[in-house]
Amino acid sequence: MDDQAEKGSRSPRPWTAVALVALAVVAAVPIIAGAAIGPSNSSQPSATSASLYKPLASPATATTTATPARPKENLPPGSGALVAAVLHQTPMRDAPGGKVLAQIGTRTQFGSPEILLVVKHSPRWLGVVTPDAGNGRVGWIPRAAASLSRVNWELKVSLATHTVSVLQAGKVLHRYDVAIGRASAPTPTGRFAVTDRLTTGDPSGPYGCCILALSAKAPHAIQGWNGGDRIAIHSTPDTGSIGLPVSHGCLRLTLAEGRWLIDHIPLGTPTIISSA
């Protein structure tokens, strides 16, 4: 535009400028609202963890009838391990009424129902096994925050013999050979629990068809596993590694054995890993 044209041009009218500003504000509202709505909820699974694997609930026959966990209520009948299904987000403490360690929600990081193995209890508190408490530690949640039931399954892992024994009602049903952690990434020992039952959708992948995630944690992140430092029992198409100390800390078994475990082992199942 030349100088003459600039001189002949007219300035925008005041009402036009106001209208433009108003339109800009209206256009920005959805963006601002989207940023303000729904901050991340710690009780929900992360998108990264939940996107790769499909979580499964416990088999329908795995537990006895659940009962609401009210302070003066008796424990569920039966001799199986006591497990607690978390009913709503609640703080987990290092002792009854003690320091808060974490917020426990109704879902795990993989999207499974949050069902915790109970190893201690009182009229008002439940001592539970959870990765948020850490290996060898017990976390405490209010008894009123959970519904109690029992599981009659147990897994016992022997690192000395490279085997996992599957027990139901105290009787050994199966004993499988497993790969265990290598010397530089040993499988942790202690009392743990099954936190997730996951299918991968890719039997030819490094985790085969099926994963039982455990509350156990390794001292390092595990390569290629979006569960971070979490230990798991999982299937593998690499059958040549089974029975050897070659993993990053997880326990590997065959595809058929992994599928059987997924079909039968419920959430909360106690899992004992020993060096013997």
Q: Residue 238's pLDDT is what?
A: 94
What does the block give as tokens for 48?
Answer: 């990264």
- Helix H, strand E, coil C: the string for 81-139 is EEEEEECCCEEEECCCCCCEEEEECCECCCCCECEEEEEEECCCEEEEECCCCCCCCCE
Question: Which is higher by pLDDT, 9 or 121?
Answer: 121
Q: How confident is the model at residue 175 (pLDDT cuts 50, 70, 90)?
A: very high
- Cα 69 vs. chain centroid, distance in angstroms? 22
Pairing, β 90-93 against β 190-199? unpaired
Q: Residue 130's pLDDT is what?
A: 97
> Which domains are seen in the chain, by residue range?
47-151 (no CATH), 153-274 (2.40.440.10)
pLDDT of 27 > 60? The answer is no
Q: Residue 68's pLDDT is what?
A: 52
φ, ψ at 193 (rounded to 5°): -150, 155
Average pLDDT over the chain, rounded to an integer: 82
Q: How confident is the model at residue 56 (pLDDT cuts 50, 70, 90)?
A: confident
Starting at the edge strand found earlier in the chain, the sheet holding 81-86 runs: 67-68, 146-151, 81-86, 115-121, 125-129, 139-142, 90-93, 100-104
pLDDT of 4 > 80? The answer is no
The pLDDT tens digits of the residues spanning 38-49 come to: 223 334 444 344
Q: How confident is the model at residue 6 (pLDDT cuts 50, 70, 90)?
A: very low
The pLDDT tens digits of the residues spanning 133-167 come to: 999 999 999 999 999 999 999 999 999 999 999 99
Q: Residue 51's pLDDT is what?
A: 52
* % of the chain surpassing 90 pLDDT: 67
Which range, 62-66, 69-73, 199-203, has the best average confidence (pLDDT)? 199-203
Pairing, β 100-104 against β 54-56? unpaired
In 131-189, which ranges are E strands?
139-142, 146-151, 153-158, 163-168, 171-177, 180-181
Q: Residue 220's pLDDT is what?
A: 79
pLDDT of 24 > 50? The answer is no
The pLDDT tens digits of the residues spanning 190-205 come to: 999 999 999 999 999 9
- Give the H or E element holding residue 36: helix 14-36
CB contact at 8 A, 254 and 239? yes
Averaged pLDDT for residues 68-97: 86
pLDDT of 256 > 70? The answer is yes
pLDDT of 3 > 60? The answer is no
Closest by CA to 272, choosing from 246, 256, 241, 251, is: 251
What does the block give as tokens for 248?
Answer: 């990053």
Match 């433009």 to its residue by tokens: 20
